[in-house]
Amino acid sequence: MDVSIPGGGLLDRRVGSLIAALLGVEHGVTGRALSRTTGVPQATVSRILRRLANLGLVLEEPVPPATLYRLNREHLLLSGLCGLVSVQGELRDRAAHEVAGWRVRPDAVICYGSAVRGDGDSDSDIDLLVVRPNTVAPDEPTWERQVSGLSRLVTAWTGNRASVIEMSRREVGAGLDSGEPFLRNADEQGWPLTGVRLRDLVTSSAIAP
Q: Residue range 94-111: average pLDDT?
A: 92
CATH number for the region 86-202 comes to 3.30.460.10
Mean pLDDT of the chain: 85
| Tens-place pLDDT, residues 23-78 | 888 889 999 999 998 899 999 999 999 999 999 999 999 999 989 999 998 998 88
Burial of 183 (0-12, 13-18, 19+ CB in 10 A): buried
Is a pLDDT exceeding 70 seen at residue 103?
A: yes
SS3 117: helix
Domain pair 13-84 / 86-202, same fold: no
Is a pLDDT exceeding 60 seen at residue 5?
A: no
Query: Which residues, 6 or more positions from 141, have their beta carbon under 8 angstroms from its beta carbon?
Result: none
| Tens-place pLDDT, residues 133-169 | 999 999 999 999 999 999 999 999 888 899 999 999 9
> Distance between CA atoms of 88 and 94, rounded to whole angstroms?
10
The share of the chain scoring above pLDDT 70, in percent, equals 87
Say if strands 126-132 and 162-168 run parallel, antiparallel, or are unpaired: parallel
Residue 132: the pLDDT is 93
Fold of 13-84: Arc Repressor Mutant, subunit A (1.10.10)
Residue 2: the pLDDT is 58
Residue 167: the pLDDT is 94
> Distance between CA atoms of 147 and 133, rounded to whole angstroms?
13
* Of 203 and 116, the one with more pLDDT: 116
Say if residues 11 and 85 touch (Cβ distance below 8 Å). yes
Residue 207: the pLDDT is 45
Is a pLDDT exceeding 70 seen at residue 187?
A: yes
pTM of the model: 0.69
**Per-domain residue ranges of the chain:** 13-84, 86-202
* Of 130 and 17, the one with more pLDDT: 130
